[in-house]
Amino acid sequence: MLSVYAVLIDGAIYASWLFLVAAGLTVIYGVMRILNMAHGSFYAIGAYAAASLVGWYFNNGVGPVWVGYLMMLGCALAAGLAVGLLIERGLLRFMYGRDEVLMVIITYALLLILEDAMKMVWGVNPYFAYQPYAAMGRSVLAGLKVSNYDLMLVGVSLVIGFALWLWLERTHQGKVLRAVIHDREVAQAMGVNVRRVFTLVFVLGTVLGTLAGALTAPAISVAPGIGVEIIVLAFAVVVIGGMGSIEGAALGALLVGLSRAAAVHYAPQFELFVIYGVMALVLAVRPQGLFGRVLARKI
Amino acid sequence: MNYILETRALYKEFGAVSAAKDVNVSISKGEVVGVIGSNGAGKTTFINMVTGYLKPSRGEILFNGQSIIGRTPRAITRAGMARSFQVAQLFPELTVLDNLLIALAGAESPFPSLLRPLRNEGRIARADAILGEFSILSWRDSKVTAVPQGVRKLIDIAMALIGDPQMLLLDEPTSGVSAEEKTQLMDTVMQVVSRHQVTVLFVEHDMDVVRRYVSRILAFYSGEVLADGPPQSVLDNARVQELVTGGQRAHKRAKA
Amino acid sequence: MRLDKTELMMLGVAVVLATSGLVAPQWLVFLLTMALAKSLVVQGVVMQMRAGLVTFGQGLYFCIGGYAVGMSGHFLTISDLPTLLLIGVASAVALAMILGLLMTRYREIFFAMLSLAFSMILYGMLVKSPGLGSTDGFNVIAWTLFGWSPASGQAPLALFVIIIAVSAVLAVLLHRYGHSSAGAMCEAIRENEVRVEYLGQSPRWVLYMNYVAAAGVSALGGGFMALAAGHIDPEMAYWITSGEFVFIALLGGTSHVAAPILAAILFAVVRTYAIELVPHSWQMILGVTLLAIIVFLPKGLWSLLSGQARRAKAVEAKA
């Protein structure tokens, strides 16, 4: 019985982390039809930035703990804004309108470049910035010891998820975004500045990615390669949920999180296998994902 | 009576929109049937359903007496019904000849050969022959992207015809072509088609074009068949004039 | 089976290359052998590109080919080269026949990412398998050929000649396949899949055969790589490895069957120097070059991408 609770708790924690990572990916794809393979690198950049800064901060005992948390968020935001703007304005905007697979290859090239850029900036040795994680202590939940930091993560992802949903559904900007998601050309014909929307969305997606990385950094060892590992997972989540859907990303994250937790507890070797098994199952029944839209070709 | 194509009580709904309402059509072998109707009247939906691209909401479709509901375009093509498209569906980066050779190879066998070459004398001869019939042999070695619209429409039809189908459905064969070229294009098409002894059904907007070639007209409006019969009686039908052709006449009067 | 001009030329070049191995320095022979092994994997990538599909996970079959060779030698003490390679190809084909059922339902992005995912799944499983050496992998035993065991000095040259022979034969076969009805149908699918259905063909069937065949070809490359390097490890299934195959495929282009071979050799030569000079910037160089190819040499990529771009334009034109 304890094991089941462990799976549920672990699953929920993992799911919230996955959602944070996948949210940016699905938003960018939904609006821009670009599957950004470099999204994993954004996550990694956020993690590195947070880990190195926070690590320095705590190792030098500079100030109170809560400032450390603020720094984490701050550098995630800064890194996301900088990288997102640089890439969108500096590269991607010249490539719009090109074939979707070509865009994937372009983002793949970006991934290659960023992975080495990170090695150049932060070196190849792992960073451990555990202080924010440890500082929050632990609680006992259903007879199991759970880190409060992980619980906070669940809270944060719920807040962000809700905020995103609210923004998309209730604000004017959100409506404009949904119009572009639905039909880019019609939106443009109705006067929407699609270019500006693209920049906004891409930077938003990037920041969500770096934020996810920064928030996760204290819980993991930040080393080269973490970006690629998560892109494979984030993709599964986005596909299960339906490309471009926030609700889908949430549900997909939950499904993946729970199945992964189950695998880790009962058959760790098949972790990825189980996740992709779930994805294959969903796709077999609903090829466009749970909340995805079918785009039929007109002839 | 053996009909080559029959639809019975065919319906198609897209949510609240009815694209086909109780369509009952029986076409005999050898007929040349024209389909008219304004945009959105359900003509392309009809062709899409009959060729398996869309599944009807309810009703029956029989080809040579056999039900083809639920069968794929692939199966229906192999059964002997071929079609051309409103926007010519070709292989843009390949040559015109290759387009036809592929169509021919496709018609010959459902399982294309893994080693034997696409280009062989027999196939090339047949492709050249049909290109000659359509008078577009000079475009043989050009890439489709370099070919003008009118020629593309002919290639589209040639690809459907080269497989020796029993029935040919042409979806607006002259669309996208300038008014002056329309008649000539249609002349070419109908001449070739009549030589091949196929049953033909074609969608067309221009009444003069339709009148020249058909022995029967189906007039669609809002998903229903408004009238079905010999050209003159359909075109003289008051409702047809009001809902389908009226606009055209006014347009022509204004031009004159 | 009469050979045409191209095929005769390729066989001729193969003979020249093989004899040059007798006078070339050891390191060059080794480099070329590895490059040829990689080129076989790239042939598998190119086969799929011609059908309009970009695979980011061909490392899966590369790895299977290599591990089949390694494991057969290690656990079953098989050392006969043809048998080892055959086991590798058979294993890859068996897996591809299963995965192909899922993969052929998807195109473009889905196909690309699913292929990546499956190769990473294998990577994960291998890394977590202590019995197979986990991240270290293990060594491949020396090979024999129908009982003949080459002396330690002879083996590299002998393998070089063998791989040239196999690559040449495969090049001829792939040349034929490319010009066959099936090969043309692959290109047609890339250009306009709906039309292919309306020609009475099953795109899924054609793509399935293509996918399975490509897996077998790539596994052959993996097997040879294992024999040439004498070592296998999970890196073979890592995304970076698969990315290199895509890079080489794009570099060479899809129009000629010899292109992957030339591109692989070029790549191997450049890589050797780059890794020496700037080991931690190799990915970056690849990335920048890839972007450069896309921006400045779209022709090489055009035949791959024209199909989808046309389709999109056709839909827009209609709307």
- Subunits with 3+ Cβ pairs within 8 Å of C are A, B
Whole-number Å distance between alpha carbons of C7 and C16: 14
Give residue-wise pLDDT tens across range B102-116.
999 999 999 999 999
Task: Give the pLDDT confidence score for residue C303 in this predicted structure.
Answer: 44
- Give the pLDDT band (50/70/90) at residue C241: very high
Average pLDDT over residues C264-290: 87
| Residue A298 in this model has a pLDDT that exceeds 80 | no
Closest residue in A to B45 (Cα–Cα): A299
Write down the residue that tokens 């994960």 correspond to.
Answer: C124
Picking from A25, A96, A116 by the largest number of C CB atoms within 10 A of its own CB, the best residue to mutate is A116
Domain presence at residue B199: yes
CA distance C225 to chain B (A): 27
pLDDT band at residue B41 under the 50/70/90 scheme: confident
pLDDT score at C317: 45
The pLDDT of residue A195: 83
Eight-class DSSP state of C97: H
Supply the pLDDT for residue C302.
Answer: 40
Q: What's the whole-model pTM score?
A: 0.88
Lowest mean pLDDT across A78-87, C20-29, C82-91, C144-153: C144-153
pLDDT band at C99 (very low <50, low <70, confident <90, very high): very high
Binary contact (C108, A236; C-beta < 8 A): no
Most C CBs within 10 Å: which of A32, A41, A102, as the mutation test of the C interface? A102
Residue C43: in which H helix or E strand, if any?
Answer: helix C26-50
Q: What percent of chain B has pLDDT over 70?
A: 95
- Beta-carbon separation of A35 and C315 below 8 A: no
Å between A298 CA and nearest CA of chain B: 10
- C125–A273 CB contact, under 8 Å: yes
Which C-chain residues 159-188 have CB contacts (< 8 A) with chain B?
173, 176-177, 179-185, 187-188
Tally of structural domains, chain B: 1
The pLDDT-based confidence of B196 (bands split at 50, 70, 90) is: confident
Q: What digits encode the pLDDT tens for the residues A204-260?
A: 999 999 999 998 888 888 888 888 888 888 888 998 998 888 889 999 999 999 998
- Distance in angstroms (rounded) separating the CA atoms of residues A162 and A150: 18
Give the other-Cβ count within 10 Å of B154's Cβ.
Answer: 27
User: What is the dihedral angle through the alpha carbons of B38, B42, B47, B53, rounded to the nearest 10 degrees?
Assistant: 130
Tokens of A38: 């470099």
The answer to whether position B160 is within a domain reads: no
> Are residues A232 and C318, on separate chains, in Cβ contact within 8 Å?
no
Helix (H, G, I), strand (E, B) or coil at C176: helix
Residue of C nearest to B156 (CA): C195
pLDDT in tens, C58-80: 999 999 999 999 999 988 988 89
Q: Which two tokens stand for residue C121?
A: 């799944």
Q: What size, in residues, is chain C?
A: 319
- Interchain proximity A101–C284, CB inside 8 Å: no
Q: Give the pLDDT score at A272.
A: 76
How many Cβ atoms sit within 10 Å of the Cβ of residue C230? 13
Least confident of A285-294, B53-62, C109-118, C282-291: A285-294
Between C164 and A94, the higher pLDDT residue: C164
- C190 to chain B: closest CA residue: B91
Residues 257-276 of C with CB under 8 A from B: none
CB contact under 8 A, A99 and C305: yes
Is the Cβ pair B87, C184 closer than 8 Å? no
- Which range of B101-115, B200-214, C138-152, C292-306 scores highest in mean pLDDT? It is B101-115
State the pLDDT at residue C301: 46
Residue A294: per-residue pLDDT: 67
Chain A residues inside the 8 Å CB shell of C109: 35, 100-101, 104
CB distance from B84 to chain A under 8 Å? no
- Residue B136's φ and ψ, nearest 5 degrees, are -125, 25
Q: Which residue of C has its CA nearest to B161?
A: C199
Q: What is the pLDDT of residues C174-193, one digit of tens each?
A: 999 999 999 999 999 999 99
Closest chain B C-alpha to C250 CA, distance in angstroms: 18
CA distance A299 to chain B (A): 7
Res C319: pLDDT:
39
> Nearest Cβ partner of A117 from C246, C284, C308?
C284
Identify which of C173, C183, C317 has the shortest CB distance to residue B87: C317
Over the stretch A29-45, which tens digit does the pLDDT of each residue have? 888 888 888 999 999 99
In the three-class reduction of DSSP (H, G, I as helix; E, B as strand; rest coil), residue C113 is classed as helix
Q: What is the three-class DSSP state of B42?
A: coil
Task: Give the tens place of pLDDT for each residue, A125-149.
Answer: 888 877 777 777 888 877 788 888 8
Q: Residues of B with CB below 8 A from C188's CB?
A: 91, 94, 102
Model confidence at C316: pLDDT above 50: no
Residue B250 has pLDDT above 70, yes or no: no
| Nearest CA-CA distance, residue C126 and chain A, Å | 9
pLDDT at C306: 43
Would you call B175 an interface residue with chain A, using a CB distance cutoff of 8 Å?
no
Would you call A185 an interface residue with chain C, using a CB distance cutoff of 8 Å?
yes
Average the pLDDT over each of A95-99, B228-232, C141-145, C179-183 and give the range with the smallest value: A95-99
Strand partners, B17: B14
Q: Which domain covers residue B19, as residue numbers?
A: 3-89+165-255
Q: Do C54 and A273 touch (CB under 8 A)?
A: no
Task: Quote the DSSP letter at residue C84.
Answer: H
pLDDT at B8: 93
Q: Is A100 on the interface with C (CB under 8 A)?
A: yes
Q: How high is the pLDDT of residue C121?
A: 86
Query: Within its chain, how far is the Cα of A79 from the centroid?
Result: 15
pLDDT digits (tens, 9 = 90+) for B45-54: 999 999 999 9
Q: How much is the pLDDT for B248?
A: 55
Q: Pick the residue with more confidence: B188 or A276?
A: B188
Instruction: Kindly state whether A294 is in contact with chain B, defined as any CB-CB distance less than 8 angstroms.
Output: no
For residue A288, give Cα distances in angstroms to A59, A279, A283, C110: 48, 11, 7, 10
DSSP string covering B62-119, please? EETTEE-TT--HHHHHHHTEEEE-SS----TTSBHHHHHHHHHHHHH-SS--SSSBS-
**What are the pLDDT digits (tens) for C112-145?**
888 988 998 898 889 888 888 888 888 888 888 8
Share of residues in chain C with pLDDT > 90 (%): 53
Question: Which residues in chain C touch residue A235, judged by CB atoms under 8 angstroms apart?
Answer: 113, 116-117
pLDDT higher at C233 or A228: C233
Instruction: Tell which of C239, C282, C306, C310 to mutate to test the A interface (max A CBs under 10 Å).
Output: C239
pLDDT computed for residue A62 by the predictor: 67
The kind and range of the H/E element at B199 are strand B199-203
Specify whether the CB–CB gap between B141 and B94 falls below 8 A.
no
From the list C281, C282, C290, which residue is nearest A105 (CB)?
C290
The residue-averaged pLDDT of A2-28 equals: 88
Mean pLDDT of A103-132: 87
Residue B135 covered by a domain: no
Say whether pLDDT at C315 is over 70. Answer: no
pLDDT of residue B64: 93
Decide if A116 touches C, using CB distance below 8 A.
yes
What pLDDT does residue B12 have? 92
User: B89 and chain A: CB distance < 8 Å anywhere?
Assistant: yes
Which one is predicted more confidently, A222 or C309? A222
pLDDT at residue C1, as a whole number:
62
pLDDT recorded at residue C283: 84
Average pLDDT value for residue range C161-170:
95
What does the mean pLDDT of chain C come to? 88
| For A297, nearest residue in chain B (alpha carbons) | B53
Domains of chain A from N-terminus onward? 2-285 (1.10.3470)
Counting residues of chain A whose pLDDT is more than 90, the rounded percentage is: 20
> Got the DSSP string for chain A?
-HHHHHHHHHHHHHHHHHHHHHHHHHHHHHHH----TTHHHHHHHHHHHHHHHHHHHHHTT-S-HHHHHHHHHHHHHHHHHHHHHHHHHHTGGGTTTS-HHHHHHHHHHHHHHHHHHHHHHH-SS-B---HHHHHT-EEEETTEEEEHHHHHHHHHHHHHHHHHHHHHHHSHHHHHHHHHHH-HHHHHHTT--HHHHHHHHHHHHHHHHHHHHHHHGGGS-B-TTHHHHHHHHHHHHHHHH-TT-HHHHHHHHHHHHHHHHHHHHH-GGGHHHHHHHHHHHHHHH-TT-SS----PPP-
Which among B87, B110, B115 has the least Cβ separation from residue C180? B115
Question: What is the model's pLDDT at position C58?
Answer: 97
Q: Residue C200's pLDDT band (boundaries 50, 70, 90)? A: very high
Please indicate whether residue C277 or residue B160 has the higher confidence score (pLDDT): B160
Cα–Cα–Cα angle for B182, B186, B189, nearest 5°?
Answer: 145
Total CB pairs under 8 A between chain A and B: 6
**Which residue in chain A is spatially nearest to C117 when comparing CA positions?**
A232
* CA-based nearest residue in chain A for residue B83: A299
Distance, C-alpha A78 to centroid of its chain: 16
Q: What is the ipTM of this complex?
A: 0.90
Residues of chain A neighbouring B86 (CB-CB closer than 8 A)? 299
| Top-confidence residue, C299 or A72 | A72
| pLDDT on residue C65 | 97
- Give contacts of C284 with chain A, Cβ < 8 Å: 112-113, 115-117
* Residues in chain C closer than 8 A to A108 (CB atoms): 56, 243, 246, 287, 290
CB B54 within 8 A of CB B20: no
Q: Which residues of A touch B89 (CB under 8 A)?
A: 299
> What's the pLDDT tens digit per position in C142-159?
888 888 888 877 888 999
CB spacing of A112 vs C243 below 8 angstroms = yes
CATH number of the domain that residue B59 is part of: 3.40.50.300
Chain A: closest CA distance from residue C123 (Å): 10
Contact check, Cβ <8 Å, B92/C310: yes
